[in-house]
Amino acid sequence: MGAHFAVSTILVLCLLGISANAEVFTIGSSSGSDITQALLKAFTSACQSTSPSKVVIPKGEFKLGEIEMRGPCKAPVEITLQGTVKADGNTNHGKDKWVVFGNINGFKLNGGGAFDGEGNAAWRVNNCHKTFECKKLPISVRFDFVENAEIKDISSIDAKNFHINVLGAKNMTMDNIKITAPEDSPNTDGIHLGRSDGVKILNSFISTGDDCISVGDGMKNLHVEKVVCGPGHGISVGSLGRYGHEEDVSGIRVVNCTLQETDNGLRIKTWPSAACSTTASDIHFEDIIVKNVSNPILIDQEYCPWNQCNKQKASTIKLVNISFKNIRGTSGNKDAVKLLCSKGYPCQKVEIGDIDIAYSGADGPATFQCSNVSPQLLGSQSPKACSGPVTTTPQQ
């Protein structure tokens, strides 16, 4: 039997605890079948409904091809994913998307289900971390210009590229998101955000092969709290400056998080020989536990992976009003704190308060390095602030 959807009765609506004037569109299909067309039809019907509506994908495993669910919609739409939807296992070279939710005002995605990107074959041929000239791979879940949204109780597994990408969002909350991929899977950023305003990421677990959370240009007012990250490459603002026409970043706050076994910790990275001149300001990290994290605190304005730029030309990205407070735990290398700012535009208003990061390796003790910055120091710092010689940073 092919996949289909059915409109539920008012009785079912009441049992689901939603208003009786709403409609529920349930995907009816046997486990293992392809639900792409049924889901698109259900979403289109829900989007055209003049009252709030809900699309339910039941428990089970289903195949899902490339799909774009775009508004504008006439009323709020909720999608409840109870089962697992699986991408095909091919490399999908040349495609940049799998599941897209776009141009929706008033959107919910929930249900405890999972998006499985089946990324294993794609990882073996992915070289985008080494070169600009690479074939695109699909991002698992994209939110394009989605406003007033709640994404809750959803998992992403083994994405071919980024797990989740957020662009042009306003007033979005992500809560209890679980993201997993092997630590050697390339370019599998957990949540990448850019050109959005007012996003919260709460109570989530991210273990992947690249940044757990990465902040791109144009991001404003991001709040990250109670996120466990690792393995992965930590929580990063940037990289910034790789492209022309980038926009300023401001209002980034990361609090009460735990990073474990990550290749980087709390990081701000900008390109030398940047293609633009922008400002990243009001970026604050506070109450963070690090467990065997390499480069736990890092400002790197000489970020140039695989020598794809001219490091002799200073970064033109200005960093202003940055703070790291109450960061404690253990480092995986001796570079516990490294503030490597631009010689052309030194960092301004950097505040360091109550740092306690230990390192027990044979090449220790831990160091705290500063270049082109004079941080304001509050409380105590271990290791001692700006006491170590400046060394180069491995690029990832």
Summarised one tens digit per residue, pLDDT across range 346-369 is: 999 999 999 999 999 999 899 999
- pTM of the predicted model as reported, rounded to 2 decimal places: 0.93
Beta bridge partners of 174: 151, 201
Residues forming the active site: 233
66 has pLDDT over 60: yes
Contact yes or no for 69/108 (Cβ under 8 A)? no
What confidence tens digit (pLDDT) does each residue in 72-131 have? Answer: 999 999 999 999 999 998 877 778 999 999 999 999 999 999 999 999 999 988 777 666
- Could you tell me if 297 and 371 lie in one domain? yes
Q: What CATH number does the domain containing 217 carry?
A: 2.160.20.10
- Could you tell me if 53 and 135 lie in one domain? yes
- Could you tell me if 344 and 240 lie in one domain? yes
pLDDT of residue 339: 98
Handedness of CA 96, 98, 103, 106 (dihedral sign): negative
CA distance 334 to 326: 19
CA distance 53 to 226: 31
Please say which residue of 114, 149, 172 terminates a domain: 172
CA distance 100 to 138: 11
Mean pLDDT score of the chain:
91
Range of the domain at 144: 23-172
Instruction: Spell out the residues 6+ positions from residue 313 whose beta carbon is closer than 8 angstroms to its own.
Output: 272, 273
CA distance 43 to 23: 11
Please say which residue of 172, 197, 220 terminates a domain: 172
Beta bridge partners of 86: 63, 116
Closest CA to 332 of 259, 381, 392: 259
Lowest mean pLDDT of 211-215, 308-312, 388-392, name the range: 388-392
- Could you tell me if 46 and 158 lie in one domain? yes
- Could you tell me if 238 and 353 lie in one domain? yes
12 has pLDDT over 70: no
What confidence tens digit (pLDDT) does each residue in 234-276 have? Answer: 999 999 999 999 999 999 999 999 999 999 999 999 999 888 9
Contact yes or no for 85/56 (Cβ under 8 A)? no
- Could you tell me if 165 and 217 lie in one domain? no
Determine, yes or no, domain membership for 203.
no
What confidence tens digit (pLDDT) does each residue in 288-324 have? Answer: 999 999 999 999 999 988 777 777 899 999 999 999 9
Determine, yes or no, domain membership for 184.
no
